[in-house]
Structure 1
Amino acid sequence: MLNTKIVILTIWISLFNISESFNFRYDYDNFSIGEQCVTKYNEPGTCTELVKCKIADQLYRSKQSSEITLCKVVGRIPFVCCPSYPKDLIASPLVIKSSTKFQNALCKNVQIFEKLDNHIISGDKAEVSEFPFQVALGYFSQEIKSFNFDCGGSLIADDIVLTAAHCVNIKGAQPVMVRLGRTSLDLNDEYDESDHQDIKIEAIRIHPKYCVKYKHNDIAIIKLRKPFKPSDSIETICLSTSDANAPKDFTVTGFGITSLEYTKRSDWLLKGTITEYPHDKCKYEYGKKGIKVIDSQLCALSDKGVDSCHGDSGGPVSYQKNNKHYLFGITSFGSGCGSSVFPSIYTKVNRYLDWIEEEMSTFE
């Protein structure tokens, strides 16, 4: 009798431990395997083994179990309410060609930083020269007889900048110069004594399959009229070659607006940390808005409200590895700014290495 009680207690503890790892909506005995269910976000689904539900398995492995709806436990095997997404919103496998030799050539002479920290800070100011690859695109304004800096970019070679395709045609206006080397766009700012370089743009190449409506393939290459002069505050960034080598947390930087209450852009470079968001779930949520998200787009957000916003477009989404900065994404678009529940969209650079290499070769 005692042994029976011990067995029952052991099973109960096992089920309790499994269920406690999920923020579940229903008791695990409420649904049968294969039965229709509803997720915590009121999405239709099917009671499926955790490891066979791609999105739930990704959430579990990334320690986001609170996003999973548990519907049953058989033995020690959890079954979850797996969302039944429309077929056209399910992520399909993508064969990627990685131009590793090309990336290595670009990254060969990039400066190695002796001390790099992970800046997991919500919308903090960047340190002077902390992101020496960040550039600002200048658009000449007849009204003020000067430049507006309405987009960002990343320096990947001594005369090449990567940005978003939509940044090179803002309401019919194209950038005419690029400002390098400044953490503050205010040249009179006494806290940033870095020597800046303003270099005119020689040519712009937009990805041939750029889709204005959905911002698919939102990437463009800018060729500068001359290489930058070596400087402590100006440096190129390496290119990420695959998703597998990248972390789940990224740093997003830009000179965009700092709040929704006013539209003034920040003169000082701001930084924040964003986290990759499950791609299938992102596709489903944007799909409900009539927007199709494709595999070359990164979905990311922050539970602290860190987000890219107007003016940050084209800027880098980066991470650090082996004391070097790597460019993983380009700020593209989002549904509003500062959301802690709805992801923003970024262009994955590693999907376009062959195109970047091909376009750069035409400049030589």
Structure 2
Amino acid sequence: MNDGTPVLEIRNLKKYFSQSTSVLDTLLRRRQDMIQAVDGVSLTLHENESHGVIGESGCGKSTLLKTLIGLHEPTEGQILFHGRDVSEFGRSDWKEFRSNVQIIFQDPFNALDPKMTVKETLLESLKIHGMDDRERRVEQVLKRVELQPPEKYVDRFPRQLSGGEKQRVSIARALIVEPDLILADEPVSMLDVSTQAAILNLLSDLMEDVGASMLYISHDLSTVSYICQEINVMYLGRIIERAPTQELLDNPRHPYAQALINAIPIPDPHHGRERTTLEGAPRDPIGLDQGCRFRDRCGKRMDICEQMPAFVEVEDGVETACHLYYDHEEHVPASDAMPDESMTNTADVATRND
């Protein structure tokens, strides 16, 4: 029963990594700056909603997803699932959580065990979570992801499947335990264009059929805009703009969001438009200061961009973190303090992957 409680709520979530240190650094007790992979992300996802997180490689979106699923321990902030803080979960709570929250990985070619048939792959999830009526569930989920007839696929190994069929099996594995939330990690980025369209259509239809919510991350705005009702634009660990999908496509506010929209290819060789002139590369996410993360690449940079912009609502349902859009006397920027020494001691050894 839906009582209005969000399926997923993230409050000021941070995930910092410590850097690998040399023997000399250890002997001299040199403190290394932290890698700020996810830095103060907040969002809310309700039942049967699909939200996207988009940004360049290295912006922190995959780290965000891994932190949500429990593969990384948050440095700071809260993750609430159906109103419950996951930091308070016990072993049985985590087992239930991992049944209700499923992930679809980016690479369908390595997501499946090559030694297991399709049927064995699907039955494994049912066995882990103690679910009955397994044969019927396998048949139904294969039909649902359009691998028909099911008997044609149940005994196949991954090497006998195409890339699109592998991804459909991955989606079936996520759906077979009837989750409340699906985390999709660029699920079509490694597929050809025609197969991408088929998988996106499938995901879109499934969201309506099963009533699950989805957080979909990608670097490709065209695929996110096809399937998501709301888009979060992420840059160097922070959400810098949030808006309903069509509103973001029609009228992006933040200079970075504008550059992303302008970079979407238009399938018309005769269409003329000004090329995107975004230059430079994102800063190194190590020991970042208080200023706007995008200022080094922004053509509208001002002196005040050395301070952190507030995340403000500029229109109904549209929020952005840019000094161009608000009266600074009415807003005090949030603190961007680095984690204290106790956090540094427990932080994970860094991986620089996003």
Asked whether the two chains share a fold, i.e. TM above 0.5, the reply is no
Q: TM-score, normalised by structure 2?
A: 0.22
Q: TM-score, normalised by structure 1?
A: 0.21
Higher share of residues assigned strand: 1
* Structure number with bigger Rg: 1
Larger relative contact order (Cα-Cα within 8 Å, sequence gap ≥ 6): 2
Higher share of residues assigned helix: 2
